[in-house]
Structure 1
Amino acid sequence: MKIVHTTGPVNTQHLKAFLENNLNTRFKENRHMDMDLEYVDTENGLEIKLPELYDSFLFEIHLVNGNELHVAKSEHFVNDVNALTIEEILNSLLLDYSNKENNV
């Protein structure tokens, strides 16, 4: 699990919109695939899925204490090329997101 600390409180809908606007584009550019990732609201955050290829989530992002994101990767897709690509992009995006002044 990766833990990301943000500079301020996180709104999950803002995070979801940020990922929808950035992660899909970068994933398509890197993998040369025309498939959209799906972002599903959960009780404590978001799940990232690629429903065209996988039955379950690839990543879960949980909001903890308002300004901490816990990112967990599905144990079913540890060495999968799509999951590895998403993980690399997601790590970069979450670092960008965590340094934004207005996360809410």
Structure 2
Amino acid sequence: MSKKLYIGNLSYNVDEGALNALFSQYGAVESVRIITDRDTGRSKGFAFVEMTEEADGLKAIENLNGTQQFERSMNVSVAKPMESRGGSRGGGGGFSRNRY
């Protein structure tokens, strides 16, 4: 079990302060991060909340998952580790030309 929680189906209008206040009812919150679009800065509708204690994270999941919060039915679960997207970010395109 991790202390980091995934919050899905989140209202686009909610801010980090409101999420912090909601999750603080179940224990100490270390961090709140709403994921935003890189180009527009608008919320993508999900966030991550990190609780100080694992037991508090479980309490938050039990009490908040599937409940109506901020005008939407929120999904709250344990966050999965970020997967590697693979590949390099360099240019080049993977094509080489031999010149003789």
Same topology, TM > 0.5: no
- Higher helix proportion: 1
| More strand per residue | 2
TM range (shorter): 0.3 to 0.5
User: Could you tell me the TM-score, scaled by structure 2's length?
Assistant: 0.38
Q: Considering Cα pairs closer than 8 Å and 6+ residues apart, tell me whether 1 or 2 has the greater RCO.
A: 1
The normalised TM-score by structure 1 is 0.37
